[in-house]
Structure formats: structure tokens, C-alpha cells
Structure 1
């Protein structure tokens, strides 16, 4: 009786747990990237993104006022002030330790006095107030460096996005790369869909010699590695003059995406009711009218499913863009290449890299969530009768 149709499986809880685990594995890194994109470099270096809403203990490098602010008091030269003055920090910071050397940044507790060179002495309080004394006039152009360990409140900023999107000139900003990526991705998604839709209809509902062989060739092309065709295709594009711009990139993405598109759409169209098409032919409809008026509207789930795959693949592509977008001036740099440039020039600026990465995945996420309801329907096309 347990296998009767309509009864609820006893393993439903296992399915729910598995789905929840998969969602969590996908969601946690995305949320972490989003939170990190609003944090400062010091916060990212000292604590994980899951602690973003809580105070964190950080090490800061601050300086006293310049020697030209010193005053003579009872024969002693004195510089007084607050280490946090002029810094974009909270007024309620309470330091736990401080030091004058990078080798031991927690050598002193708040209120202690440290002996410096030439008889200089400095005392630092928990709220950042300090008093630097010297028996002789202090010289130099910069103040004494102080290493402070303090617990700082949560801090979120939009400066990362401002720097990523709008800093620099028009050729090296992420905003420029964003529009370049759209310029590559939108045509590279639409062109293969249009071509594949016509080809899939012909292979599904039109009889012509060699149709079965052509279907077999298309299935075989699914396993051809992308890297195998890059160099020959680039030489061809350079030979006909389209190897250094968007047109060559569009055609490359179209060629690499067509086998999957034709296979997916053809399987879906074959599963459509034959009576609808035969009745349309009896009524005098041409093949083009059947295709545009009947097949395309009914095939929207499969079209949307392939559009998601093609858009995500093209948007996240680096290899094809590196090979076919040959531009030394950076006018056609896409986002994936721009992030690589950030990795090469900024190294440990993780707040900038996190922001750039999230800007890069924002559009694919929007496209996926907007069209995900068609994804499963399109993937299952032709799998059951």
C-alpha cells in the first residue's frame, strides 16, 4: 500500500533537507560576497562577513600630531591630542592595547607610558588621548606612529561601489566594463536563439534528405571542446577582418552555443502535438506561419531555458573575450577581464574585489530569478511522452 499513487513518501523529509542544504550552499557565498562589498578593508581582514553586525577587534596604525604643533611647558616640549581625531571612527572607541613598534603592537595597556628615543615619553589613554613629552625640541615632518588595538563598531560604506564603478578614467572603470559586457552578451544570446529556433523547427517537422545525419552531427558537436576551435577560428576571423571587435565575439559565441540550442529546442518541438501542426497545414498555413504563430509561442519555456544558459555562459566568459576582443586600449574590456586586472593590480584589496565580483554577478542573478520558472520545463523538454 505504500507504493500506491497519491500516497506521500516517507522520505519526503530527506528531500526537503537535501534541497535546503543545496540552497544554503549556494546562498551563503552569495550573501557573504554581498555583505563584504559594503565592508572596509580592515573589517574584512579581521573578521568574517557573518560578524559584520557585531563589534570587532581591529589593529589600527595612527599617528600623533606633527612636531610643529609642540608647545613648551615648564621647560618640556609637549604634544597633546587624540589619536582618533580626524579619523573616520566612532567617538566611543575603547582601546585594549597599544604599542610603538610593529613587532609588538600590544606592548602597553591604556594609561601606560612608553619610553622613546632621545628621552621622549608618550602616554596613551583608553579613549585615544595622548601626551608626548620631550626634554629637547622635537624635529621631523611627521608625528609618532602608534599601533592601536581597539574594538570598533560595525561600519558599512558605499565607497567601495563608488570606487569600482566611477573611479579612474572611462577605459578602466567597472562601469565601462559593465556596458561592454552587455554589448557582448545581449547579441550573443539573441543571435543563436534565432538561428537555432529555425534550425530546430526544420529538424523536427520538415522532411528533407540527410535530416537524421544532420541531427547526429549536431549531437556530436556537443562534445567538441571549446578550446579546440579557438585558434583556427581566430585565424579565420583575422583573415576576414572581424577578429578584433564585437562581431567576431558574437559569431564565436553563436557558433559555440548553437549545438546545445538546436538540440534543446528540437527535442522540445518534437514533443508538441502533431495535430495542431497538421490542422494548420490543412487550413493553408505556410511553414513560416506555423513556425511564427504556433511553434514559437508554444516553445517559449525551451527558448527561455536556453536563454538563461547562454546569457550566464556569455556573461561569465573570460576565455572567448580574451581571444577575440583584442584591444590594447581597453575600450572593449569586459567585466571578467576587468576583475582579473583588479586582482593583478590591487592584490589584497579584498573589499574592492568583493564589490567588483558582486557587481559582476548581480545581472546574472536577476536574469536567473526572473526566468527560473521556465528552466526546469525547458530542461525536461522531450524527456517524456
Structure 2
């Protein structure tokens, strides 16, 4: 290799490094812009909820940057004094937490059984469960309504929880089965040789390894149940609805009560956002683990 070729390669290497660094900086700027764009509606809703309703009817939320005196917490004070909205938040928690916990627990047990245990017809049963993923919620509304009416849980919190649990299980079983199937069989056999039963093996060995996947599933299920409105409209008690239905009822009864709708909508949105950001590391780990495997 001549000295001229060495200099050219050195220049190319330097140029490549500069381009790589520029590309990295450009990608970071691009991601920051996308994040700001994605958060703009959230910021707009927050500022709208902090404005006087009269001002909100006359101009956009961005006017607070030139007139910060428009900001007030009166809307949140009225929200806390609105029993319909505050009770609906409590009802939403009563629905979302059990529906998420049941899907995670039952889905994990079923996924473990399909992935790590041998029993007759295992693969056919798993295909049947996976096939339920394509069943739309709308198909089950009428028959499940009749069933819940016959057993006395129609338009109750229990009925909403059971409906969300049933429709969340196929995805949960599919996701966790794929994760559990990648656990080395040697590890499971070694635990069995040491005398561990299936339940002990599941809770002591398999479950700790599946933390990222379970966190991802819990986030998906939590967001779906919390933001649901269709199932809540049909199966929830109209006198004790979740937050999505309560806000819809407020908008229908009082078309201009932005002083309650704005803060209520922001509180309804910020809670699932807080849950997502609190578990984002586990969520990313679970997604990346599934991508690698």
C-alpha cells in the first residue's frame, strides 16, 4: 500500500466518521422534533384545562404564552367538586386494575402451559386460542349481553372486568407463549430434577425471567381497558360509569362545560401516560427481547 492510498483511506475514514456523527446528531434532532410534535396535543389540552372557559371559547390555547394571566386552576377545583367525574375515576381504577391483573396472571399460566408442558392436543388448542385474536369485539356484544343478563352481571363492574379479561387473554397467551418458548429446556429440566413442581417452577424460575414481557403485556392491557369506551357504554352501570363514559355524559348534558371537560380529559389521559413512562424501560426490554428472539 502506497503512502497516497494510506492518506486517501485516512481521509475517507475521517469523512465517514464525520458523516456518522452528523447522522447521529441529525437522528437525535429528528427524534426530539417527533417527540415534541407527539406531545403537542397533550400540552395543548393541559393549557386549555388551565384557561378560563370564556377565554377558551374565544381563542386557542397558545394564547397563554402572550397572556399568562389566563392561567387558572378553577377548572380543577370544579373537577374535584364534581362527584360524577371523581366517582368515575375510582370506577375506572376498579375496572382497569383487576382486568389487567387477571389477564397477566391467567395469560402467563396458559402461556407457560402451552410453551413448557406436554399434553394431548396442545398445538391445536394453542392455534384455537391464537385464532381468537381475529374475533372483533363487536361480534360478541349481543351474545355476551344476553349471557350477562341471564346470570345477573349485565351493566355491572364485574361484567366489564370479565369482558375485558376474556378479550385480552388471546393476545396475552400468544405474547407470553412466544417468550416462554425461548427459555432453554435444560433450565426447566434441571429445576424439575431438583424436585420443583410445575407451580414452583413457574413462580420461581419462569416468571422472574419473563419480567419484561409481562410488563409490556400489562401496559398494553392497562391502556386498552383505561381508554375503552365501547364496552363501558354497553356493559357498565350507567349510574356508576368509568371516566370515558362520564365525560361523554358531561358533554351531552352540558355542551359548553369546558371547565369540567378539559381538566377531566387531561386527568383521564395523564394517568395512562404516567403508567407508560413509569414502566418504559421494561416495555422496551420486552419489545426488544421479542424482536431479537
Give me the TM-score of the superposition, normalised by structure 1: 0.68
Q: Tell me, in whole angstroms, the C-alpha distance in 2 between the residues paired with 1:294 and 1:10.
A: 45
Residues 36 and 351 of structure 1 are in contact (CA less than 8 Å); yes or no, is this contact kept in structure 2?
A: no
CA drift at 1:11: 4.2
Residues 1:22 and 2:34 are matched in the alignment: yes
Q: How does 1:290-309 map to 2 (within 5 A)?
A: 290-309=201-220
- 2:54 alignment partner, SS class: helix
**Equivalent of 1:257, from 163, 168, 177?**
168
Deviations 1:22-55 (A, max 9, x none): 3122211101111111110122223322221323
Partner in structure 2 of residue 188 of structure 1: 99
- 1:348 alignment partner, SS class: coil
Residues 1:347 and 2:255 are matched in the alignment: yes
- Unmatched 5+ residue regions in structure 2? 1-8
Tell me the C-alpha RMSD between the 2 structures.
Answer: 2.0
Residues 45 and 262 of structure 2 are in contact (CA less than 8 Å); yes or no, is this contact kept in structure 1?
A: yes
Q: Tell me, in whole angstroms, the C-alpha distance in 2 between the residues paired with 1:313 and 1:9.
A: 39
Partner in structure 1 of residue 112 of structure 2: 201
Q: Tell me, in whole angstroms, the C-alpha distance in 2 between the residues paired with 1:347 and 1:269.
A: 50
Residues 1:161 and 2:76 are matched in the alignment: yes
Q: Tell me, in whole angstroms, the C-alpha distance in 2 between the residues paired with 1:287 and 1:154.
A: 63
Q: Tell me, in whole angstroms, the C-alpha distance in 1 between the residues paired with 2:21 and 2:145.
A: 55
Partner in structure 1 of residue 277 of structure 2: 369
Deviations 1:57-103 (A, max 9, x none): xxxxxxxxxxxxxxxxxxxxxxxxxxxxxxxxxxxxxxxxxxxxxxx
Cα gap change, 1:233 to 1:271, in 2 (>3 Å): same
Q: Tell me, in whole angstroms, the C-alpha distance in 2 between the residues paired with 1:237 and 1:219.
A: 25
Q: How does 1:1-385 map to 2 (within 5 A)?
A: 8=20, 11-55=23-67, 154-167=69-82, 170=83, 173-327=84-238, 330=239, 332-385=240-293
Cα gap change, 1:25 to 1:378, in 2 (>3 Å): same
- 1:383 alignment partner, SS class: helix
CA drift at 1:350: 2.9
Structure with more relative contact order (C-alpha pairs < 8 Å, separation 6 or more): 2
- Report the number of matched residues: 277
Cα gap change, 1:38 to 1:251, in 2 (>3 Å): same
Task: Say which structure is richer in helix.
Answer: 2
Q: Tell me, in whole angstroms, the C-alpha distance in 2 between the residues paired with 1:35 and 1:334.
A: 24
CA drift at 1:344: 1.0
Between structure 1 and structure 2, the one with the greater Rg is 1
Deviations 1:209-263 (A, max 9, x none): 2111122122221111111111111111111122131111111000010011111
Residues 157 and 237 of structure 2 are in contact (CA less than 8 Å); yes or no, is this contact kept in structure 1?
A: no
Cα gap change, 1:27 to 1:297, in 2 (>3 Å): same
